[in-house]
Amino acid sequence: MTRIVVFGGTGYTGANVVREAASRGHQVVSVSRTEPKDLVRGVRYETGDVEQVAGRLVPDADAVVAALSPRGDMSGRLVEVYRGLAQQAAAAGARYVQVGGFSSLRPAPGAPRFVEGDIPEQFRDEALEGEATRVLLAEEAPEGLDWVFVSPAGGYGAWAAGERTGSFRVGDDVALFDAEGGSFISGADFASAIVDEIDRPVHHRAHIGVAY
């Protein structure tokens, strides 16, 4: 049993991670500012701003999942918030999984990341802020922090939850595409990949992508 704290545990990504981790018998704490309507049995729900509660929760964690989103009043806050979480996870010796965006991936080895090209306006701010959180880990992660930065497929999101298939691929920072050239991963399968990295860590201080 692993003690996992999921920041953003009531969001699209976080709720799937919470459900998956709890179903595998882990001790899960979900953090959000508002309590969810649907509670997962056995999960401890903590309400409060990440910066108010992290100092109390992270020291007891074996793994920390950062699944906030840079939207609404969180826009512009994510890098500093994640800097704090990464430092606290390092001090606790906890595995640190930070969720980012598809745009931080590359279309081909060595090619510029998608975020360096033209991004549709409605996604641009989120893509740039997500990329800044990747750079934070790649360039400034505390020494000794066992981090992994996870990008979903391009078609991932609350608007397309999909189904659990139990079958997906995990790549590096080069985007994976299916046989038809599509880029998709369901919420449940993405969460599975994240909890897999906690149960059996394969990638260390690395950027990975999850897709079919």
Ligand X SMILES: NC(=O)c1ccc[n+]([C@@H]2O[C@H](COP(=O)([O-])OP(=O)(O)OC[C@H]3O[C@@H](n4cnc5c(N)ncnc54)[C@H](OP(=O)(O)O)[C@@H]3O)[C@@H](O)[C@H]2O)c1
Residue of 89, 123, 193 whose CA lies nearest to 115: 123
Residue nearest to ligand X (CB): 11
Return the number of the residue (13 or 92) whose C-beta is nearest ligand X.
Answer: 13
List Cβ neighbours of 113 (8 Å cut-off, separation of 6 or more). 103, 104, 105, 106, 131, 173
Cα dihedral angle (49, 71, 158, 164), rounded to 10 degrees? -60
Contact set with ligand X (CB under 6 A): 8-14, 31-34, 49-50, 67-69, 71, 74, 99-102, 126, 130, 152, 154, 156-158
φ and ψ at residue 33, rounded to 5 degrees:
-80, -25
> What separation, in Å, do the N-terminal and C-terminal C-alpha atoms of the chain show?
28
Return the number of the residue (48 or 59) whose C-beta is nearest ligand X.
Answer: 48
Return the number of the residue (40 or 68) whose C-beta is nearest ligand X.
Answer: 68
* Least gap, CB of 167 to ligand X (angstroms): 19
Return the number of the residue (59 or 144) whose C-beta is nearest ligand X.
Answer: 59
* Least gap, CB of 16 to ligand X (angstroms): 8
Q: Do residues 66 and 5 lie in contact, with contact meaning Cβ atoms separated by under 8 Å?
A: no
* Least gap, CB of 73 to ligand X (angstroms): 8
* Least gap, CB of 157 to ligand X (angstroms): 4
